[in-house]
Structure 1
Amino acid sequence: MSLQLNGKRSLVTGGSRGVGRAIVLALAAHGARVVTCYREDREAAADLERELESFGPGHRVLQADVRRPEDVEQLAGACRELFGGLDVVVNNAGVDGHSPIEALEPEEWHRVLDTNLTALHLVTRAVLPLMDKNSTIINIGASAAERGQPFRSHYTASKAAVIGWSRSLAKELGPRGIRVNVLAPGIISSEGNGPPPQIVERIKAATALGRLGEPDDIAKAVVFLASDESSYLSGATITVDGGI
C-alpha cells in the first residue's frame, strides 16, 4: 500500500491551526502541493508558511473568508494560477457553537451554518472546474452529527447536513470520476474552548481507546482518502472518534 501523494495538487480550507494545520502538513509531507487559507490569525498563518518551506516550493497560504463568495472565487483563482487544476479538496473550515435553543438567535444560527455548510457549497462549486477524473473531495464533519448534543443544535444540524450533502454530491459527481467522502472526528484535544477537565475525563472513560483524538489522527485519515488507495471509496462517512 502506498500513501504517497507526489504531484497531487490540493486545497485545504481553514488550514492555519488545529486539525487543518495537521492536514496541510501531512499532505505536504506525503508529496502533495498545498494551497490553504485562513481567516484572521496572521501569526499562525506565517508560522505555517515557514514550516511549509521545509517541504520545498509550490505551497501557498492565503487569507480568505470562505463564507464570502468573492473570497472563494479569489481562492479558486489562486489554485488555477498556481496549479492549473486540483486533485484534492479538503473542506475543513468550521466553527463550533454552544447555546440553549431559547437563546439561539438567527445571527448565531447563520454564523455556524454559513461556515460549516454554506462554505462547503461555495468552495466546491468554485473549484469543480479545476477537478477531473480521479480527484477527491474530503469534507470534515463531526461524529456529534449522529449522536446529537444538548445546547449545540445548530452545530449538530450543520454537521449532519454535511453528510447528506456529501452523499448526494458523491452520486452527482461519481460519473465524472470525482469521489466525495466525509471524515467525522470526535473530540480533538487541540481544539480551543474545549470541555473542562472533568468532562474530558468523562469523555475518555466513554471512549474505547481511552483518549481524546489528536489532529494527526484526522490528518492520517485525510492522507488515505487523498491517495489512490481509496479509489473505490465514495459517499462514505468515516468516523474517527476512538470509539465513543
Structure 2
Amino acid sequence: MATADSRRFVGKVAVVTGGSRGIGAAVATRLAAEGAAVVIGYRDNQRAADELVSAVVADGGRALALRADVADPDQTGALIDRAVSEFGQLDVLASCAGVEHFDALENIAPADFDRVFTVNTRGQLFAVQHAAAHMRAGSRIVLTSSVSASRAVFHHTLYAASKAAVESMVLNLSAELGRRGITINAIAPGGTATDMAAEHGARYQHPQLRGTMPMEQWLSVHGALGRLARPEEVAAGYAFLASDDAAYMTGRTLPVDGGFF
C-alpha cells in the first residue's frame, strides 16, 4: 500500500481501463492513494466501478467511472476524451482490460482469435493511440502482458500470442513515443488472486496433473514465493512504471510473478 508520504501522482490524471475489478481496480486504488485523479474504465460491472469511485472519494481523492468496451476503439477514444474534458489533462494510461482463453489447436475458431486479439492486443494499441494524442512530455503508459507470453502452457496459445504481441508493441512504440518524452512499458503479471484466476487458474497445470494436485500445492513447487500475488502487489509494479521513479525505463516488460518457474 502507498504510505502517507508516497504521493508521486499529486496533480496527475490517470485512466485505468479494466479498472472495476481485479488488478485494474487495485491499480486505480493505488494511483488514487498516491494523489492521482483516476478515471475508471469498465465494460459491464458498473456497480463495482461506482463502489470504487465512492471509496476513492471517501478517502479524499478524485475519481470518475466511465463505461467503455476496449474492443471498440471509438468507445476508448470517447473515454479518454471525457477524462481530459473532466480533469484537464492526461498523464498516465494504465491499460488493464483483458480476456482469458484456453483451448486446443483443433478447436480454435476465427471468432476466438478475433475476440482475444481484439481486446488484448488491438484494444491496447488504440488505447495508446488515443491517450498519446493528449499526452505531454513526462507522461507514462503501462500496458498489460502476462508471464504466459514467455512460457509454454497447454492450450494457451491464443492468449499467450496476444500478450506476446503487446510486448513487441511496447518495445517498438518506445522509440516513437520516446521522441516526445513519453515512456511506455508493460507489466507481465503471474498468478494473481482475482476472479479470473479462480475461474482459470487450474488450467495452467499440466493436463496430467489437473485434479491430482491442489492449486496451492502446485504453486508451492512452481513459484519461488509459493503463492498467488495479491492484486495490490501487482499494482505496485504499475505504480512504479507510471511514476517518475521509472523515468529512464521504456520499451520494457516487467514481470511481477513471484519467481514463477
What pairs up with 1:195-210 in 2 under 5 angstroms? 195-196=201-202, 198-210=214-226
1:229 matched residue in structure 2: 245
Gaps of 5+ in 1: none
Gaps of 5+ in 2: 203-212
**C-alpha separation in 1, matches of 2:74 and 2:108:** 28
Q: Conserved in 1, the CA contact under 8 Å of 2:32 and 2:61? A: no
Give the letter aligned to residue 195 of structure 1. G
Q: Conserved in 2, the CA contact under 8 Å of 1:204 and 1:212? A: no
**C-alpha separation in 1, matches of 2:57 and 2:118:** 32
What pairs up with 1:1-244 in 2 under 5 angstroms? 4-56=8-60, 58-192=62-196, 193-196=199-202, 198-244=214-260
Q: Conserved in 1, the CA contact under 8 Å of 2:35 and 2:61? A: no
| 1:56-94 Cα shifts (integer Å, max 9, x gaps) | 353111111011122112102111201222111111100
Q: Conserved in 1, the CA contact under 8 Å of 2:42 and 2:68? A: yes
**C-alpha separation in 2, matches of 1:234 and 1:23:** 19
TM-fit CA distance, 1:194: 3.1
Tell me the secondary structure at the aligned position of residue 51 of structure 1: helix
Q: Conserved in 1, the CA contact under 8 Å of 2:40 and 2:49? A: no
How many residue pairs match? The answer is 244
| 1:152-200 Cα shifts (integer Å, max 9, x gaps) | 1110000100000000001111111000111100011123313347234
Give the letter aligned to residue 255 of structure 2. T
**C-alpha separation in 2, matches of 1:200 and 1:119:** 33
Give the letter aligned to residue 200 of structure 2. G
Greater mean alpha carbon deviation, residues 63-72 or residues 19-28: 63-72
**C-alpha separation in 1, matches of 2:148 and 2:219:** 13
**C-alpha separation in 1, matches of 2:6 and 2:74:** 38
Greater mean alpha carbon deviation, residues 221-230 or residues 165-174: 221-230
Aligned alpha-carbon RMSD (Å): 1.5
Greater mean alpha carbon deviation, residues 76-85 or residues 89-98: 76-85
**C-alpha separation in 1, matches of 2:23 and 2:181:** 27
2:207 matched residue in structure 1: none
Greater mean alpha carbon deviation, residues 82-91 or residues 132-141: 82-91
Tell me the secondary structure at the aligned position of residue 200 of structure 2: coil
**C-alpha separation in 2, matches of 1:84 and 1:54:** 22
Q: Conserved in 1, the CA contact under 8 Å of 2:77 and 2:130? A: yes
| 1:22-43 Cα shifts (integer Å, max 9, x gaps) | 0000000010110111101122
Q: Conserved in 1, the CA contact under 8 Å of 2:14 and 2:38? A: yes
Give the letter aligned to residue 145 of structure 1. A
Q: Share of identical aligned residues, percent? A: 35
**C-alpha separation in 1, matches of 2:119 and 2:28:** 19
Q: Conserved in 2, the CA contact under 8 Å of 1:163 and 1:237? A: yes
Q: Conserved in 1, the CA contact under 8 Å of 2:93 and 2:140? A: yes
